Amino acid sequence: MNPLDDVLEWYQFIKDSQDVSLRLIKLHSESVPKDSRFAGKTLAEARTLLEQASAEVDDLVIISLAAVFEQKILDHLIDVANMMRISQQGVFPLEVLKYGLDKLERWYFPDVLDFFKTLVHVDIIGQAKQIYQYRNYVAHGKKGIKPASTDLIKAYERLTKFLEQAGLLSI
């Protein structure tokens, strides 16, 4: 199962809702509730509002895809570390593993992706890092120079390919 599928599913639901809203406004503008954002708007104005909202939703979906992807990777690393803990003997190696596990969320995530170089093609790792950079740009207020971006479907496909190559998708 791909954990990214749920994100894509709710995204498609939002897109369908936007399309339905626009059609209803076009066909039955008199039925638009007076307390909605569309009250008193022309069809062109409503379309513009929905297009602006759509662009923001696309960015939020990339944030969500990156967050789900990151958690899947971190969960896997915890599993690997726990397996290593079982095979380790001695206090020192166990303390090192414990420290690493306790601080896992503080690791620099692009470096974490490099752990997978023996499993995942380097181009796919680079693409995942670019998505992560764009996620940070959006999540931190779109300040500074805009990094290379990708549409959310490509982000979904690239992150899925990473998970596939890393063997992290269950059937």
Mean pLDDT within 53-80: 93
At 101-152, the pLDDT tens digits run 777 778 889 999 999 999 999 999 999 999 999 999 999 999 989 898 789 9
- Could you give the percent of the chain with pLDDT greater than 90? 57
Q: Is 4 exposed, middle or buried (0-12, 13-18, 19+ CB in 10 A)?
A: buried
Domain boundaries, the chain: 5-165
Gap between the Cα atoms of 119 and 28, Å rounded: 55
Gap between the Cα atoms of 115 and 128, Å rounded: 13
At 74-96, the pLDDT tens digits run 989 888 887 877 776 777 777 77
* pLDDT-based confidence at residue 11 (cuts at 50, 70, 90): very high
Mean pLDDT within 45-65: 93
Enter the pTM of the model.
0.86
